[in-house]
Each structure stands twice: as structure tokens, then as C-alpha cells.
Amino acid sequence: MSKYSLKDRIVFITGASAGIGAACARAFAAEGARLLLAARRVDRLESMEVDLLEAGAAAVHVFALDVRDRAAVERALAGLRAEWREIDVLVNNAGLSRGLDKLWQGQPQDWEEMIDTNVKGLLWVSRPVVAGMVERGRGHVVNLGSTAQELAYPGGNVYCGTKAAVKLINDGLRQDLMGTPIRVSDVGAGMVETEFSEVRFRGDKERAAKVYQNITPLTPEDVADAIVWAVTRPPHVNVAHILMTTIDQANSLVFNRKS
């Protein structure tokens, strides 16, 4: 069976300025897609444009976006030029974790940031994009999950809760779209070496480095490869869930740390 071609298809990636989002941009560029990239750090996106075009992207359009701001999301998507409105693939990648506190010691502002980004932000983006997909009768939504959606870990209470929500929103959306050609996938990973831990610990590089100490983590490219694989299956194939880890990780709690 031939894979689904992404040549000249519009792929919209949130949180595309670093980590898995940036790796997805490079991977979809290699497929000849037209890249619609959003992130809060638009300067990083702008610095990626030339390399993405050289990597094979048919076109690149970047814009600043904080997915937590519903009004800003609605304005940005409604204001897209006509040639960028018909989104074929949405990668809901924007997400983060803050802190590693016991629940009764947690910071409410951290909770709000995680919930507003990981859950509500995904909803604010998905609603108008999916509506367009339904109207056109084509599309694929990829939501970024995590091993945290399967098994909580100490101090991960709210973050794990947001990723569990993503999993169920993903499954609910797939059911809502039954009878349409639109596909919905949840692609989750365990330990991936990105800025994730540095963001979690608010720039504490030393503490972040210890997360990956004596272990071989996944790379952002590993996850991007799985996402592109799911999207390029033949149109009748819907990859509902992918859960991937490094060989040194069994779940959120069990790791093989080499001495």
C-alpha cells in the first residue's frame, strides 16, 4: 500500500520553536509539506525558515502564538491568508510542565499554566481547525501525549492529569469524527531530551541535566519520525495511539540507569 503523500499539504504545528515541535517541522519539510508554524518565540521560528526550505518544505509561514490566549488563537487563525487556511494536518505539540511538587505544596500559577497550555490551549486550537477539516472532508489531528497519561509519578500530579485529559480528548474527538475521513492520533513518548526539564525547573540547567543522567533518552527526531509515520499511513488507516520510550524506560516510574 502506498503511503499518504504530504507534498504541498499544509501542516500546522504549535510549539514549533524547539524540541519535538522543531523536529516535526524538519521531518514534515522532508516530505515536501507546506509548514504553518506557531510558537511564543517567533524569532526562533524565523531563524528556522531558510533551513526548512532547504530541507524540502514547499513553503513556510510562521507567526507568534500563545495557545493559552483563546482570543489570540481565534484572531490568528481567522486572519490567516487564504493560501494557508486549508490545514491538512494539525500537530498539537505546545505543552509544558512546571515544578515537581507534592499537590498540597504545589503552586497554583504552575497548575494554571499547565492546564491552560496542555488542555485548554489544545482545545482553543483544535476547535476552529477541526471545523475546517470537517467542512473540507479531509484532515488529520495529532495530539502529543506522554507516558504520564498512562501512569502518574510522584510530584507529577497536575501534569499527569493534563496528559490523561489529552488522551481522553483525543479519543472523544476520534469518536466525534466517525463517519468522516478525518483521522485523530495520540502520539506519546517517555523521556525525550529537550528543554522540557529545563522549563519544568525554570531554567535550572544542573537539575534538568540530572533527569537524563546515566540513561539513553529518546531524541525529538525519534518522536517526529513516529508522528510522520502515523500521518502518512494510507487514508483508511487511523493510528489511534503510539506510546514510545527509550529502551531504558518501562513506564513513568521504572528506569534503567547505568552506573
Residue pLDDT, tens place only, 138-158:
999 999 999 999 999 999 999
Residues 41 and 150: their CA atoms lie apart, in Å, by 30
Q: Which secondary structure element, helix H or strand E, spans residue 175, and what is its range?
A: helix 157-176
pLDDT band at 94 (very low <50, low <70, confident <90, very high): very high
Cα angle: 194, vertex 195, 197; to 5 degrees: 100
Contact 101, 201 (CB under 8 A): no
Residues 91 and 111: their CA atoms lie apart, in Å, by 23
Residues 187 and 240: their CA atoms lie apart, in Å, by 8
pLDDT band at 1 (very low <50, low <70, confident <90, very high): low
DSSP at 218: B
**Model confidence pLDDT, tens digit, residues 165-207:** 999 999 999 999 999 999 999 999 999 988 877 888 888 888 8
Contact 41, 17 (CB under 8 A): yes
**Whole-number pLDDT of residue 250:** 94
Residue 136 is placed in which grid cell?
473540507
Residue with grid cell 503523500, as numbered in its chain: 5
Residue with grid cell 504552575, as numbered in its chain: 110
Residues 86 and 68: their CA atoms lie apart, in Å, by 23
Mean pLDDT of 220-226: 97
Q: Tell me which of 3.30.530.20, 3.30.420.40, 3.40.190.10, 3.40.50.720 is the CATH number of domain 10-244.
A: 3.40.50.720
Annotated catalytic sites, by residue?
159
Q: How far is CA 228 from CA 66, 110, 111, 259, in A?
A: 24, 31, 31, 35
Contact 41, 65 (CB under 8 A): no
How many residues make up the chain in this entry? Answer: 259
Residues 49 and 121: their CA atoms lie apart, in Å, by 24
**Whole-number pLDDT of residue 200:** 85
Regarding pTM above 0.85, the answer is yes
Whether 61 shows a pLDDT value over 70: the answer reads yes
If we measure between CA atoms, which residue out of 1, 55, 60, 53 comes closest to residue 35?
60
Catalogue the E-assigned strands of the chain: 10-14, 34-39, 59-64, 89-92, 140-146, 183-189, 241-244
**Whole-number pLDDT of residue 172:** 98
DSSP at 5: P
Whether 15 shows a pLDDT value over 80: the answer reads yes
**Whole-number pLDDT of residue 169:** 98
**Model confidence pLDDT, tens digit, residues 72-93:** 999 999 999 999 999 999 999 9
Q: What is the mean pLDDT of the chain?
A: 96
SS3 103: helix
Whether 209 shows a pLDDT value over 90: the answer reads no
